[in-house]
Amino acid sequence: MAHTIAEIATALGAQALGDVSLRVSGAAEPQAAGPEQLALAMTPSYGDALKLGRARAAVIWPEADWQAMGLEAAIMAPLARLAMARLTQMLDDRGRMAPGVHPSAVVDPTARIAPDAAIGPLCVIGAGARIGAGTQLASQVTVAAGAEIGAACLILAGVRIGLRVRIGERVILQPNVTIGGDGFSFVTAAESNVERARASLGEARLSPPEDATWHRIHSLGGVEIGDDVEIGANSTVDAGTIRPTRVGRGTKVDNLVQVGHNVRIGEDCLLCAQSGVAGSTIVGNRVVLGGQAGFADNIRIGDDVVIGASSAVLSNVPAGRIMMGAPATSMAAHLASYKALRRLPRLMRDIMASKKPVPKPGLSD
Amino acid sequence: MAHTIAEIATALGAQALGDVSLRVSGAAEPQAAGPEQLALAMTPSYGDALKLGRARAAVIWPEADWQAMGLEAAIMAPLARLAMARLTQMLDDRGRMAPGVHPSAVVDPTARIAPDAAIGPLCVIGAGARIGAGTQLASQVTVAAGAEIGAACLILAGVRIGLRVRIGERVILQPNVTIGGDGFSFVTAAESNVERARASLGEARLSPPEDATWHRIHSLGGVEIGDDVEIGANSTVDAGTIRPTRVGRGTKVDNLVQVGHNVRIGEDCLLCAQSGVAGSTIVGNRVVLGGQAGFADNIRIGDDVVIGASSAVLSNVPAGRIMMGAPATSMAAHLASYKALRRLPRLMRDIMASKKPVPKPGLSD
Amino acid sequence: MAHTIAEIATALGAQALGDVSLRVSGAAEPQAAGPEQLALAMTPSYGDALKLGRARAAVIWPEADWQAMGLEAAIMAPLARLAMARLTQMLDDRGRMAPGVHPSAVVDPTARIAPDAAIGPLCVIGAGARIGAGTQLASQVTVAAGAEIGAACLILAGVRIGLRVRIGERVILQPNVTIGGDGFSFVTAAESNVERARASLGEARLSPPEDATWHRIHSLGGVEIGDDVEIGANSTVDAGTIRPTRVGRGTKVDNLVQVGHNVRIGEDCLLCAQSGVAGSTIVGNRVVLGGQAGFADNIRIGDDVVIGASSAVLSNVPAGRIMMGAPATSMAAHLASYKALRRLPRLMRDIMASKKPVPKPGLSD
């Protein structure tokens, strides 16, 4: 997997200097780089660190005197925003799995597996499931009967793919992801405490309902994951009730994220770690949901909405809005309230301390 | 798994109309329904959608002119709250696994497995474990030595059941659930930063304690899961210290939920996605914990309490209360504070803008 | 695994009384204890409970009249803070796995496994991986090619250990943990909605960017887990970009916790359940992060910081601070604001009710 400095520079559209035939096999921070690694020193702040490491080549900032730093070769840092993406892709040495089915995998004879797909050790693939061309299943993956996985996917260890799940092309599922678990959908014969709380706007004093037994609404709708989606470790996407839960093309989902039943998420969204989307909510395109933030159930989020970390969105959001807080409001309103709240204790102290208690009803005239 | 319209109507206690011998094999939204699916069009708002789909039969709203919509058969939507539960249960085509132990499973010879239980591929079952009648373990499940699973349970792929765990009857565990991991219980020889923070009510400036090493309190108490409990994908229930952590009969737990060590949760509760119950907290019956909400450790929550999404409950809650916020208060108080907070920036601006700064101590007389 | 009362007392540095040769095989709460269990009744409040149980021996509070309670033997409760840790460790009967590789495990011939390590059923170990002396891998664990696990570790069922992960000694990983999943690191060719939201401090109205495609920055840096770390069930630690994500010696991580790429966590920290640390954040030593709390990305947290449950820390925190809220401030400031907020609705009502609306700009003189 080693590359020459010339090859890397070409891939980045950058200029190579010095011994461009030098080979490197990975990237590292300047101070930690060994002689076979490419140091990444894209700003002058890394100058001193370069001297501590043992790199022979580096990606350097424009106008850096790379020879004076003892480097044998250098790549002038390109300004392109995509440089890190291209560089790390090039240096990624995760080998491709050899095509074929590992003998320890348990594969139903009716499953259709593309000839160049790779099925790792101890995977289980159910009847009628389909695995697309070039797709790799690492070890111990489960694919339920009838599930479909498109071409060129990477499904890592311990992923569970349930009934009626369809996955597009070039999808990456990190370890221990669960796609197609049953939705959290239950109903009581009598009005439940949740319904009474909502109906009373929180004013009710709740007492035991007549019949508190939760009856299960089964999930028959499955899940559809679009092309180029990535889902982080230990995240969950539940099956829909009678239509599929959907995650749109190009959307990226971080670790420990929950996507509830019947949810539809648009294209090119980001769902940061530990965020959640409750059942039946519809999310537009290019929406960003911050870490530990959540969308309530049964709401609509427009395109190009950004939600700050740790926020709770409880109602519809029009397109283009930036929201924060729990419950979330516009970021501007939230910050104004937050600043005022910080000053509120002093205001209250002042009011309490004033001899003539101001304001006080009926006192002023 | 196909059913006639007559059969479905009977199961729902509803009226069947037209060609009641027509068979359907699943349900779908009206616009997406194929000729072998039952369209669900329970309100007039679905009228137009029905025309877009290809359903030959539908569940329709009362008084709908089903023949004019081109349907060959119809079921008059029953008003019963449980209709969706019954309907989806009837149409669920998740096949039962064939009884017996898959040859790839690794089962200790001293494990006691009911003759009609089904143990899927690549499961691991430890010494002395018991699996009840009719229970199904999907693939790659782990059951520790001595653990007990009752009758008629459904344990999905990748579930981990630890030491000293006892699971009741008709329990459903979604994929990658962990029951009986060790509790998060550690103690330091000297007073820890947590203890000093609590003792000073947050006023202390913390400095390195004499000995910061965390010593592990082992979890010997296991877990008890009651009958008819369901636990969502990738959720975790920790073992108790010397008594079992308990989840009561009929309680439903969503995905990515944490139940800490020594916790006792009552019957017929709902714990929504990404909520958490910290160690040793006691939760009553019919309690609803909203998504991403949490109960602190060592508190008591009465029966029939409802907690809004994203709330943090830090102290005891009496029975029947509806609570919101972080820290949570009554929903009424929370909403009043929230509304006032939204208006606070304007109030502060007004105060700042007023020539005579009001209120200001010692100025008014 | 049974111990005599004398042995237990010696281990605890406590005094044994009565028939000190009596054997017990576990601990229990007083009311639930059977005749072979040691009742834990360390305070007088347990006196009545002891009478309900069937214990023959108990750990009792100083000066308890153990003979009058019908006990045959007793251990005087030591005041040492570590008593529960020692006692539960002694009574923990989790057997050690027999050394060797289970025949169902799939182990690459180039993996180096210490002779006395134990590799459980259906584990998968990649090329060149190393497993240290005395380390136990329970069932269905995955160890990627080249990953290294030190001596005396306990790796429970379903744990996934990725590429370039190095784990120290005496590390415990609870079930379904994922170490070394890819970081959540993506970049767009054009400025993204997230960048525009931040640049405008939330004032922008967002519209579709020119090119919303997320390009993946690959994770080449792996993970380093220090000695004596424990990580709870279903938690995730992502790989770094070009340097390892690090969790320092002695740090304890609860269930469902997220540690993002490039993060460095110091020594002897506690990360409580469902907390999260976003990418590239640096956390000091002895830091406590409460349940469901989070650190934003790219910030620095000093040593000896304690963060309350459900808080969101959005900026740097100096050493020694106790913080709460979302966004987090000092606990003292947070509590003051919170109290004031609770009283704000009444203040606003009073202002509205006063005939002369006070304060109102330009009205008072």
For the stretch A252-305, pLDDT in tens is: 999 999 999 999 999 999 999 999 999 999 999 999 999 999 999 999 999 999
Q: How many angstroms separate the first and last alpha carbons of chain C?
A: 85
The whole-number pLDDT of residue A2 equals 87
The whole-number pLDDT of residue A356 equals 46
**Length, in residues, of chain B:** 365
Q: In whole angstroms, give the CA distance from residue A234 to residue C327.
A: 27
Query: Does the pLDDT value for residue B185 go beyond 50?
Result: yes
Q: Who wins on pLDDT, C255 or B26?
A: C255
The whole-number pLDDT of residue C301 equals 98
Query: Does the pLDDT value for residue B141 go beyond 50?
Result: yes
Which of B102, B136, B130 is closest to B116 using CA atoms?
A: B136
Q: What is the DSSP letter of C360?
A: -
Q: What is the DSSP letter of C32?
A: G
Q: In whole angstroms, give the CA distance from residue C301 to residue C278.
A: 12
Q: In whole angstroms, give the CA distance from residue B348 to residue C44.
A: 55
Which of A84, A231, A78, A250 is closest to C211 using CA atoms?
A: A250
- The average pLDDT across C181-204 equals 92
Secondary structure class of B60 (helix, strand, coil): strand
> Which candidate in C102, C215, C218, C261 is catalytic?
C261
Determine contact: C305 vs chain B, CB below 8 A: yes
Q: In whole angstroms, give the CA distance from residue C34 to residue A106.
A: 45
Query: Does the pLDDT value for residue A77 go beyond 80?
Result: no
- The average pLDDT across B122-149 equals 98
Task: Sort out which chain C residues have CB atoms less than 8 A from A345's CB and list them.
Answer: 333, 336-337, 339-340
Which of C28, B270, B291 is closest to A185 using CA atoms?
A: B270
Task: Sort out which chain C residues have CB atoms less than 8 A from B186's CB and list them.
Answer: 85, 252, 270
**Length, in residues, of chain A:** 365
Determine contact: B256 vs chain A, CB below 8 A: yes
Which of C228, C118, C81, C93 is closest to B222 using CA atoms?
A: C93
Question: Would you tell me how many other CB atoms lie within 10 Å of the CB of residue C204?
Answer: 18
- The average pLDDT across C186-201 equals 91
Determine contact: A49 vs chain C, CB below 8 A: no
Query: Does the pLDDT value for residue A162 go beyond 50?
Result: yes
- Of A101-110, A306-315, B60-69, C322-331, the one with minimum mean pLDDT is B60-69
Interface contacts (A, B; CB < 8 Å): 242
Tokens of C258: 């997220």
Burial profile B21-35: b = 16 or more Cβ within 10 angstroms, e = fewer: ebebebbbbbbbbee
Which chain C residue is nearest to residue B140, measuring alpha carbons? C140
Determine contact: B267 vs chain A, CB below 8 A: yes
List beta partners, residue B289: B271, B307
The whole-number pLDDT of residue C48 equals 86
CB contact under 8 A, B337 and C342: yes
Q: In whole angstroms, give the CA distance from residue A120 to residue A156.
A: 10
Question: Do C83 and C14 form a contact (C-beta atoms < 8 A)?
Answer: yes
The whole-number pLDDT of residue B360 equals 42
Cα separations in angstroms, A217 against A213, A310, B301, C273: 13, 30, 28, 30
User: Which of A203, A220, A257, A275 to substitute to test the interface with B, most B CBs within 10 Å?
Assistant: A220
The whole-number pLDDT of residue B349 equals 87
The whole-number pLDDT of residue A43 equals 84
Tell me which fold the domain B3-91 belongs to: 3.40.1390
Q: Who wins on pLDDT, B126 or C13?
A: B126
Burial profile B107-119: b = 16 or more Cβ within 10 angstroms, e = fewer: beeebebbeebbb
Residues near B66 by beta carbon (within 8 Å), at least 6 away in sequence: B17, B18, B58, B60, B74
Question: Do B150 and B169 form a contact (C-beta atoms < 8 A)?
Answer: yes
Q: Who wins on pLDDT, C203 or A325?
A: A325
Question: Do C300 and C316 form a contact (C-beta atoms < 8 A)?
Answer: yes
Determine contact: C302 vs chain B, CB below 8 A: no
Question: Do B261 and B238 form a contact (C-beta atoms < 8 A)?
Answer: yes
Instruction: Name the residue among C160, C220, C278 with its Cβ closest to that of A157.
Output: C160
CB contact under 8 A, B340 and C341: yes
The whole-number pLDDT of residue C364 equals 35
Question: Do A320 and C207 form a contact (C-beta atoms < 8 A)?
Answer: yes
Q: In what order do the strands lie in the sheet with B270-271?
A: B100-101, B118-119, B136-137, B154-155, B172-173, B230-231, B252-253, B270-271, B288-289, B306-307, B322-325, B328-330
Please, which pLDDT band fits residue C312 given cuts at 50, 70 and 90? very high
Residues near C349 by beta carbon (within 8 Å), at least 6 away in sequence: none
Q: How many angstroms separate the first and last alpha carbons of chain A?
A: 86
Task: Sort out which chain A residues have CB atoms less than 8 A from C356's CB and list them.
Answer: 364-365
Report residue B312: phi and psi, to 5°. Answer: -125, 110
Please, which pLDDT band fits residue B62 given cuts at 50, 70 and 90? confident
The whole-number pLDDT of residue C361 equals 41
Instruction: Name the residue among A204, A208, A215 with its Cβ closest to that of B286.
Output: A208
Q: In whole angstroms, give the CA distance from residue B292 to residue B295.
A: 10
Q: In whole angstroms, give the CA distance from residue C97 to residue C138.
A: 8
The whole-number pLDDT of residue A362 equals 38
Tokens 């966004």 sit on residue: C327
The pLDDT tens digits for C7-18 are: 999 988 889 999
The whole-number pLDDT of residue B350 equals 83
Sign of the Cα torsion A284, A290, A292, A294 reads: negative
Please, which pLDDT band fits residue A51 given cuts at 50, 70 and 90? confident
Question: Would you tell me how many other CB atoms lie within 10 Å of the CB of residue B92?
Answer: 17
The whole-number pLDDT of residue A363 equals 37
Query: Does the pLDDT value for residue B365 go beyond 80?
Result: no
The whole-chain average pLDDT of chain B stands at: 93
Tokens of B178: 């962990």
Please, which pLDDT band fits residue B201 given cuts at 50, 70 and 90? confident
Q: In whole angstroms, give the CA distance from residue A105 to residue A110.
A: 14
The answer to whether the bond into B44 is cis (omega within 30° of 0) is: no
- B304 vs chain A: nearest CA distance in angstroms? 6
- The average pLDDT across C149-177 equals 98
CB contact under 8 A, B172 and A182: yes
Determine contact: C356 vs chain B, CB below 8 A: no
Determine contact: C343 vs chain A, CB below 8 A: yes
CA C68 to chain centre: 42
Which residues of B participate in catalysis according to the annotation?
261
CB contact under 8 A, A184 and B273: yes
The ipTM, to two decimals, is 0.94
Instruction: Name the residue among B197, B216, B350 with its Cβ closest to that of C361.
Output: B350
Residues near C13 by beta carbon (within 8 Å), at least 6 away in sequence: C78, C80
Query: Does the pLDDT value for residue A339 go beyond 60?
Result: yes
- The average pLDDT across C239-249 equals 97
The answer to whether the bond into C359 is cis (omega within 30° of 0) is: yes
CA A32 to chain centre: 29
* Touching chains, B (3+ CB pairs < 8 A): A, C
Determine contact: C89 vs chain B, CB below 8 A: yes
The whole-number pLDDT of residue C1 equals 62
Task: Sort out which chain B residues have CB atoms less than 8 A from A217's CB and list them.
Answer: 84-85, 88
Q: What is the DSSP letter of B138?
A: -
* Touching chains, A (3+ CB pairs < 8 A): B, C
Which chain A residue is nearest to residue B340, measuring alpha carbons? A337
Task: Sort out which chain C residues have CB atoms less than 8 A from B241's CB and list them.
Answer: 84, 88
- Of B320-334, C83-97, C139-153, the one with minimum mean pLDDT is C83-97
Question: Do C43 and C57 form a contact (C-beta atoms < 8 A)?
Answer: no
User: Which of A102, A107, A177, A214 to substitute to test the interface with B, most B CBs within 10 Å?
Assistant: A214
> Which candidate in A3, A215, A218, A261 is catalytic?
A261
Q: In whole angstroms, give the CA distance from residue B253 to residue A157.
A: 25
Residues near B219 by beta carbon (within 8 Å), at least 6 away in sequence: B182, B183, B185, B238, B239, B240, B241, B261, C88
Please, which pLDDT band fits residue B79 given cuts at 50, 70 and 90? low
- The average pLDDT across A233-250 equals 97
Cα separations in angstroms, B348 against B2, B29, C96: 67, 52, 65
User: Which of C25, C42, C88 to substitute to test the interface with B, most B CBs within 10 Å?
Assistant: C88
Determine contact: B188 vs chain C, CB below 8 A: yes
Task: Sort out which chain A residues have CB atoms less than 8 A from C312's CB and list them.
Answer: 292, 309-310
CB contact under 8 A, A350 and B360: yes
- B101 vs chain C: nearest CA distance in angstroms? 16
CB contact under 8 A, C217 and A84: yes
Task: Sort out which chain A residues have CB atoms less than 8 A from B88's CB and list them.
Answer: 217-220, 241-242
Task: Sort out which chain C residues have CB atoms less than 8 A from A255's CB and list them.
Answer: 178, 181, 184, 236, 238, 258
Please, which pLDDT band fits residue A79 given cuts at 50, 70 and 90? low
pLDDT > 90: what percent of chain A?
A: 78
The whole-chain average pLDDT of chain A stands at: 93
Q: What is the DSSP letter of B180?
A: E
* Touching chains, C (3+ CB pairs < 8 A): A, B
The whole-number pLDDT of residue A1 equals 62
* Highest-scoring range by mean pLDDT, A292-296, A342-346, C331-335: A292-296
Q: Beta strands C148-149 and A282-283: pairing type? A: unpaired
Please, which pLDDT band fits residue C206 given cuts at 50, 70 and 90? very high
Please, which pLDDT band fits residue C337 given cuts at 50, 70 and 90? very high
- C101 vs chain A: nearest CA distance in angstroms? 16
Determine contact: A363 vs chain C, CB below 8 A: yes
pLDDT > 90: what percent of chain B?
A: 78
> What is the identity of the amino acid at A198?
R
Determine contact: C222 vs chain A, CB below 8 A: no
Determine contact: A1 vs chain B, CB below 8 A: no
Q: What is the DSSP letter of B144?
A: -
Tokens of A214: 């939760």
Q: Which long-range contacts (CB under 8 A, 24 or more apart) does A133-141 make?
A: A136/A96, A136/A97, A138/A97, A138/A175, A138/C142, A139/A102, A139/C106, A139/C124, A139/C142, A140/B122, A140/B140, A140/C122, A140/C124, A140/C140, A140/C142
Please, which pLDDT band fits residue C95 given cuts at 50, 70 and 90? confident
Task: Sort out which chain C residues have CB atoms less than 8 A from B358's CB and list them.
Answer: 358-359, 364
Which of C95, C93, C171 is closest to C131 using CA atoms?
A: C171
Tokens of B277: 């119950």
Question: Do B313 and B288 form a contact (C-beta atoms < 8 A)?
Answer: no
- Of A111-115, A230-234, B179-183, B341-345, the one with minimum mean pLDDT is B341-345
Task: Give start and end residues of each alpha helix (H) in chain C.
Answer: 5-12, 47-52, 83-91, 193-199, 331-353
Q: What is the DSSP letter of C222?
A: B
The whole-number pLDDT of residue C79 equals 65
The pLDDT tens digits for A103-113 are: 999 999 999 99
Which of B348, B265, B275, B271 is closest to B299 using CA atoms?
A: B265
CB contact under 8 A, B353 and C361: yes
- B154 vs chain C: nearest CA distance in angstroms? 19
Task: Sort out which chain B residues have CB atoms less than 8 A from C42's CB and list them.
Answer: none
The pLDDT tens digits for B284-302 are: 999 999 999 999 999 999 9
CB contact under 8 A, B187 and C303: no
pTM for the structure as a whole: 0.95
Determine contact: B163 vs chain C, CB below 8 A: yes
Tokens of A70: 């003892």
Query: Does the pLDDT value for residue B33 go beyond 60?
Result: yes
Put residue A262 in one of left, alpha, beta given phi > 0 → left and psi -120 to 50 → alpha: left
The whole-chain average pLDDT of chain C stands at: 93
